Chains A and B, each alone.
Chain A
Amino acid sequence: MAKIRLFTTSILFFLSFFLFSQERQHVGNLMDIAIKAKIKKFKENTNFDKAQMFFRQGIWDSTLVYSMKEMSNTKNKELTDYCHYFRGISFKEKKLFNESKKEFNEISNNFQFFYKVKIKLGEIALGQNEFENALQYFEEIEKLPNVSNYDLKKSNVLHNIGLCYLHLKKFDKAEEYLFKSTKLQETEKDTLMLIGSYMDIATLYYEQYKDNQAIPYFEKAYHLSKKAKSFELRRTATKNMAVVEENRKNFPLALAYRKEYEKWKDSLNDQNKVWAIADLEKKFAVKQKQKEVNILEAENKVKAAERNGLLFSSVLLLILFGTGVYFYRQKIKNNKIILAQKNELDELNATKDKLFSIVSHDLRSSVNALKISNTKLIENLETKNFDELDVLLHNNSTIANGAYNLLDNLLNWALLQTKQTYFFQESLHLATIVQHVEYNYKPLMLNKNINYENRVSKTDYVFADLDSLKIIIRNLLDNAIKFSKENGTISIYTRTSSDDFCYLVIEDTGLGMSASTQEELLKETVLLSKKKNDDAIGTGLGMQLCKSLIHKNGGKLEIESEENVGTKIIIVLQKFKDHG
């Protein structure tokens, strides 16, 4: 039981020792030189440069990172081989043996240091207790001709072979190789290796129960280890001695060794503890830093959120303000429109009221005149004064006509305002329409002894609504008669027309009107104007109606007038295009 334990410890010890030696080995050797050469050759590959730098400094994680970067960037076989090598070593150092093995297997056979790869693979196999495999690798190396040319220690290889045989219980071979390696190491004066070798030889004998041969080697190893700096080495050597003494039943000595072993173990532990504490402190510091960083990050986030919130709310406020202003302005505009409309409506209402008063006044006076006339009529009938009767009846007829015209205009005006009339523009023979209208006024003109002329062109066709055209001509002719003196002249004629319009002129030699009156009449207004000579004239409704109707027919009204000379009213009407 104790022996087995010793055996395992020795192996464990040896492995760690072994690795240590390899790490030290590649500093300042052939490989180093080769790597430097490669850096010069591949200057631009910074990742490779960094990888090798970290590799040489033994910073394995960084090596892994940069070698990976380099591999993803380059297609160069040599460089990838190097990178795989770096990665293999790094993984191995980090005790990730399977990963390491994979990396090593990736390396091509042409690799300059392929034998090193073999050694590493062998070492890994040894570490994983695959002794047969390990042995294969090592023997391949051993068989290499002229080992000194290569950058490796033959003693190590021999030692490892011996170790393999030892584990495979082939003690003869183990003994042979171990001695070979020990001899080499003695010449090389490699104390650390030598201690390991002595211990292994001792273990070899001990395994074979050749205690007498084993013990001197143990002792040798122990004595040598006292000179060595490695606690671990001393510890193992001491422990071995303790076990040996225990087995020899030399308990006091064994106890002494044990104590010494414990001491080394403690010091090792202390060292480990120091390391651990340092590590902990470092971790703590890192954590602290991380916390600070987290806090700062959180603060930043809060600030960003605050800023965003501020920005968002300000934008929102701006939009709100904008819409507020927009609606306020809209409201003001609406109010203005409403106010304008109200004023207009007020004006219109006032006009309507005025119209009412004028119309009713005119009608009242007409009816009153009829009443008076009728009274006279009755009186004259009683006195059988027939001459007077005739005059009075004609007078009545005139009054009735006037009243009728007024009412007719009123009706048409109302219909026009409410847009209830049927309005249909068509081709109309202007001369015929004028004849139709003048027919009703002929007796009136004859009565007033007015000289009437109709010189309307028989070839003019206008595009208008028949009834509105009749209303227009009727009103204008009525006005012309009204403003004419006895023996005056009224003439209706067409002026030379343009392509689009026909000019119908109604000319009289009557009162005429001032420029201001003309302006008043032509004004684009719905207001009715009361004219100067009240007794002769009505409401101005007729003129207004004419204007509206001409406008509706797509025409224009023009006035040429001179006071006490006469008036020319010109109606501009659309021509009917299909007929010249």
Chain B
Amino acid sequence: MDNINVLIIEDTPAESDALVKVLTANNYNIVGIATNYNEALKLFYQNPIDIAIVDVFLDGRPDGITFAETINIVPNGLKPFVFLTSSKDRQIFERAKLTKPFSFLLKPFNELEILYALEMAVEKFYGQTNVFVSEEQDTVISDDYLFIKKNKALKKVRIEDIVYIEVEDRYCNIITEAEKFVILISLTKILQFLDPDKFCQTHRNYIVNSSKIEEIIVNDNLVVLKGNHKITLSDKYKDFVKKFRILR
């Protein structure tokens, strides 16, 4: 489970300091603080970034929005943004809204609000709203990561690293090669967002990362995975074997 990488684009040191303080306290990883447009672009492309916090006004110009617009032009380059602004000026908002999806935070804000804004940005960006505030789910699934809410903050897990998922009631045990943890999500939801080419269900309660399979013992109804995890293969889901080219 990794920390979330955050890029801060903010020209006022006092504000950025406050942000850094709150975010680091909540186990977010600050990859950089940009104070102008060019710096922001540089940092954005040089570092792996999960979320960007962007002040709308840099040196009195709405460069924050210009930055978002610039990123927006490149397909797939966009990341979740949180816009910071001290005024609800309509014209600025109408412009910022063009970079969809769009979430914002009005200054002054407290700790809860900034954390909430980050969660909202992730939810909206991956089109899975009302996840983190609800009591049924705590994970948003993107193509590469699971974004999991742990306590007050977000964490991420690379989907590639998952070996298998064990479903237990409303919970899912995520087993990676290094660790094991529980997330709150239903089986149907998780199947809906996981790539079916990479993950297959072998049992009512098991979802397996097909790239981690080492051996399938059909007679014993067993799937052996990396790290010597042995998973039951039920008759109902045996068909998944057909997806693999079988050597004879």
Contact = CB atoms under 8 A, between A and B. Distances in A.
Interface of A: 415, 420-422, 424, 427, 429, 431-432, 435-436, 439-440, 458-459, 461, 467, 579
B240 to A, nearest CB: 35
Contacts of A422: 88-90, 92-94
A436 B130 contact: no
Determine which residue in A432, A458, A467 has the highest number of CB atoms from chain B within 10 A of its CB, and name it. Answer: A432
A271 B89 CA distance: 121
Contacts of A436: 110, 112-113, 116
20 contacts: A415-B88, A420-B88, A420-B90, A422-B88, A422-B92, A422-B93, A427-B129, A429-B130, A429-B133, A429-B134, A431-B133, A432-B116, A436-B110, A436-B116, A439-B110, A439-B111, A439-B112, A440-B110, A461-B130, A467-B88
A415 B89 CA distance: 9
Given A436-B113, A439-B113, 19 more contacts: A420-B88, A421-B88, A422-B88, A422-B89, A422-B90, A422-B92, A427-B130, A429-B134, A431-B133, A432-B116, A436-B116, A439-B111, A439-B112, A440-B110, A458-B133, A459-B135, A461-B130, A467-B88, A579-B130
Contacts of A435: 112
B215 to A, nearest CB: 45
Interface of B: 88-90, 92-94, 106, 110-113, 116, 129-130, 133-135
B217 to A, nearest CB: 45
Nearest to B111: A439
Contacts of A458: 133, 135
A351 B196 CA distance: 65
Nearest to A432: B133
Contacts of A427: 129-130
A414 to B, nearest CB: 12
A413 to B, nearest CB: 13
Determine which residue in A422, A431, A435, A461 has the highest number of CB atoms from chain B within 10 A of its CB, and name it. Answer: A422
Determine which residue in B92, B110, B130, B135 has the highest number of CB atoms from chain A within 10 A of its CB, and name it. Answer: B130
A53 B148 CA distance: 126
Nearest to A579: B130
Contacts of A415: 88
A459 to B, nearest CB: 8
Nearest to B85: A422
A440 B111 CA distance: 10
Nearest to B102: A424
A415 B113 CA distance: 22
Contacts of A440: 110
A436 B112 CA distance: 6
Nearest to B90: A422
Nearest to B109: A436
A350 B225 CA distance: 79
A3 to B, nearest CB: 130
Contacts of A432: 116, 133
A467 B135 CA distance: 24
A459 B136 CA distance: 11
A454 to B, nearest CB: 13
A424 B93 CA distance: 10
A467 B110 contact: no
Contacts of B112: 435-436, 439
B106 A467 contact: yes
Contacts of B129: 427
Contacts of A429: 130, 133-134
A284 B189 CA distance: 120
Given A436-B110, A440-B110, A467-B106, A421 B90 contact: yes
A458 B137 CA distance: 13
Contacts of B116: 432, 436
Nearest to A420: B90
Nearest to B94: A422
A166 B92 CA distance: 131
A111 to B, nearest CB: 107
B143 to A, nearest CB: 25
Given A435-B112, A439-B112, A440-B110, A420 B89 contact: yes
A239 to B, nearest CB: 127
A431 B130 CA distance: 12
A434 B33 CA distance: 31
Contacts of B90: 420-422
A106 to B, nearest CB: 99
